[in-house]
Structure formats: C-alpha cells, structure tokens
Chain A
C-alpha cells in the first residue's frame, strides 16, 4: 500500500470512529479532506471511495445534500471492484432515507450480488442489513429476522463478534424477535448490543437498543425496567436530535407510567408527544384511553 493510500486509510478509519461516537461533523471534515487530497493527486479510485464515504456520513446525519447521480455513475464505472459495490450500497441507503423502498431494494440487491461475487464481506453483511431494515419498515418481521441473521452470520464467520456493526445487527435481530413476541430470544441480543456499543464508546448508537429494551419491558410488564430504559432512550434521542426516537420514547414512557398507575407522569409524556402534532388537539385524550402497543412498529 502506498503512503498516500495509507494516509487516506487512516483518515477513513478515524472518520468511521467519529461516526460511531456521534461526531458527524468531524467525520465529514475528515472525508472532505480525503476527497480534496484524492482529487489533488488525480486518484480516481480514492476519489470515488471518499465520495461514497462522504455521502454515507451525510445520510447518517439525515442529510441528502449530495449528488446521488454521481454515486450511480461510480456504480456504472466500476462494475467489478469495491467502489462499485460500495456505491450501490450507498445508493440503497439514500433511497431508503428518501422513502423509496423499491429503489432501495434494487440497489441493496445489486450491492449484495456484487459483494458476494467479488468477496467483499463488509458490504455483503451491510447489504443484508439494509435489506433487513427495508423488510422491517414493512412489518415483515420474519423476513427481516432472517436477513439480520445472515448479516450477523457473515460478520461472525470472519471472527467479528464484537464490533459496532455486530452490535447494530444484533440489535436489529433482537428487535425482530421482540416484535414477534419472542422477547426471551430478542432481549439478550439487544442487551449484548448495548454492552458492545458502550464498550466502543458509541453513544449515538445506543438510542434504539434502549428503546427496544423499553419496548420489550412494557410488553412483559417489567415496568421499572421499562422506565429506566425509556428515560435513557429519550435522553439520547434529544441529545442526537432524533425525533423518531424522542416520539417513541415519550409514547413508551407514557404507557409505562399509565400501567404503573402514575397518571400525572404519563400525562407529561402524552403532552410532550402531542406537542409534535399541533393539528391533532384530541390526541392526548385518545392516548389516555387507547393503547397502540399491539399495532406499533418502532422501526416503521
């Protein structure tokens, strides 16, 4: 590996660590620097790599201010190398975020096929994960479960059982089991994800595992447990400005307190949730009397 490439690999690794730690701005700066260097060196390969990585970072930030057609061009120019598979994977994530599941599925399948044919295990596992997420959004929990098992299996077959990616796939798999009412199978997977994320200092990734444990605990009437994890999920959702996590946390905490008979506390969370829906003034009254636990999907 040339010195240039080594330097940019170091930038990539540092940026990836920054993403897991929730420091997206730092990651973006590092990828911008790498992109500038690659362009200066007129290294098309590295430029493509950093273009994909930069787009992935923006997607993590819920931003789409990048040129999607550029990613598709990279895919077309690189039918048999790593950048092509990575570009397909990044396109899948972009379409997923845009709420275009059919396109997302197409590009995820493309990434899966390429990474399988060319032996890129990281992208292969991650493509299974994207496909699993797409199934999960459509409540196909059994199909999603099988895909997350594949994702996790591919990491494990390479001896990776403790990375942040392994934690992420374990959490997704755990949630599927919980949604399928197999809490006893799902909960240990999610708890393992929490331990791994904490071990790696990946605070930003803890929000959904906390929410998932809260959800499982409400389902099984472990209300003190639900309260602890719900409060933690809410704090993380606020810290990292994730409205979906904040709303789900308020809902689950309200249900928890309602089940506990702590109506004033439940009301606080119903009110906080209702504040997100100013055009629905009756919402709080409905929520006081109707449970949505049987029809809710935290990942939809």
Chain B
C-alpha cells in the first residue's frame, strides 16, 4: 500500500470555467449548448452558485480539451505530481524564502556537476 504524499490538486471552480470559456472565445450560450445546460445555469455556475453532476462536468472538461499547463496557469507544466506539488509550495513562499530556495537549488546543481566542470577557484581552496 502506497503512503506517498497526496499530489496537490487544482480545484475546478466557477471563475476558472469562465476564464477557460473566454480563452476559447466561446459565449455562454455556445458553451451551454455544448454541455447541455441552460445559459442561465451556466451563468450561475460561473458565479459558483450552480453545481452539476459528473456527466456534465466531464463534458465541460472535454469541451475545453485542457492542457494541464493551461489549467495550472503555467507556460509549461511540470511532468510529475511531485514536481507540481513542489511548484505549488514554492509559490506560497515569501520573496525572500523563494530567493533562498533558488540559491539552494543553484548550490545543489553545482554540487552535482562533475568535478572537471566545476568553475576554477583559488589554489588553496582546491587543495
């Protein structure tokens, strides 16, 4: 039985549906016809008031044919749940903390480089 950390999920909410619809240049009438709900209900849904069953939700996902990067609002999606979780955690940090994480990552990358590719330093430090 796995006990790995649960990947952080993005919650589909009404405002995101509105953004995605606008991104596809669809009117409420057009999208409501595609997913089989009344336009007034789609309007309520985008305002977070109207909830639907799985069949309709899956139609919405299918219509948008999302790329995950787009859904996460990123230019390029991290490929694994762990990587996405890491990005999400990073985004919650303060600017100062983010700078420290960047410095640490830079340090770890340097550490993992083969020795002959390390930048030259003073002779006494090398010894």
Q: Is A286 in contact with B66, judged by CB distance below 8 angstroms? A: yes
Of B42-50, B89-97, B106-114, B119-127, which stretch is located at the interface? Answer: B42-50
Task: Select from chain B the residue with minimum beta-carbon distance to A244.
Answer: B53
Task: Select from chain A the residue with minimum beta-carbon distance to B45.
Answer: A295
Task: Select from chain B the residue with minimum beta-carbon distance to A137.
Answer: B53
Say yes or no: is B34 at the interface (Cβ < 8 Å to chain A). Answer: no
Q: Is B53 in contact with A294, judged by CB distance below 8 angstroms? A: no
Known: A280-B62, A295-B12, A295-B45. A288 touches B81 (CB 8 A): yes
Complex: how many Å from CA A258 to CA B81?
11
Known: A290-B10, A294-B11. A179 touches B51 (CB 8 A): yes
Q: Is B2 in contact with A261, judged by CB distance below 8 angstroms? A: yes
Q: When each residue 1-31 of chain B gets 1 if its CB lies under 8 Å from chain A and 0 otherwise, what string results?
A: 1111111011111100100000000000000
Say yes or no: is B118 at the interface (Cβ < 8 Å to chain A). Answer: no
Q: When each residue 49-60 of chain A gets 1 if its CB lies under 8 Å from chain B and 0 otherwise, what string results?
A: 000000000000
From A179, A260, A277, contact of B6 by CB (8 A): A260
Say yes or no: is A262 at the interface (Cβ < 8 Å to chain B). Answer: yes
Q: When each residue 57-80 of chain B gets 1 if its CB lies under 8 Å from chain A and 0 otherwise, what string results?
A: 110011000101001000000000
Known: A139-B44, A300-B52. A258 touches B7 (CB 8 A): yes
Complex: how many Å from CA A251 to CA B48?
21
From B14, B41, B54, B66, contact of A296 by CB (8 A): B54
Size category of the binding interface on chain B: 20 to 34
Task: Select from chain A the residue with minimum beta-carbon distance to B64.
Answer: A286
Say yes or no: is B56 at the interface (Cβ < 8 Å to chain A). Answer: yes
What are the residues of chain B within 8 A of A286 when measuring CB–CB?
61, 66
Q: Is A263 in contact with B44, judged by CB distance below 8 angstroms? A: no
Q: When each residue 240-255 of chain A gets 1 if its CB lies under 8 Å from chain B and 0 otherwise, what string results?
A: 0000100110010000
Complex: how many Å from CA A93 to CA B45?
26
Say yes or no: is A76 at the interface (Cβ < 8 Å to chain B). Answer: no
Say yes or no: is A118 at the interface (Cβ < 8 Å to chain B). Answer: no
Known: A179-B51, A261-B4, A296-B52. A138 touches B41 (CB 8 A): yes
Q: Is A290 in contact with B13, judged by CB distance below 8 angstroms? A: no
Q: Is A295 in contact with B13, judged by CB distance below 8 angstroms? A: yes
Say yes or no: is A122 at the interface (Cβ < 8 Å to chain B). Answer: no
Q: Is B50 in contact with A139, judged by CB distance below 8 angstroms? A: yes
Q: Is B84 in contact with A289, judged by CB distance below 8 angstroms? A: yes
- Nearest 10 CB-CB pairs, A to B? A297-B51, A300-B53, A261-B6, A291-B9, A139-B50, A139-B51, A291-B11, A300-B52, A294-B11, A294-B13
Chain B residues proximal to chain A, CB less than 8 Å: 1-7, 9-14, 17, 41, 44-45, 48-54, 56-58, 61-62, 66, 68, 71, 81, 84
**Given pairs A263-B2, A293-B11, A296-B57, 5 additional interface contacts (CB within 8 A):** A277-B58, A288-B9, A289-B81, A297-B52, A300-B52
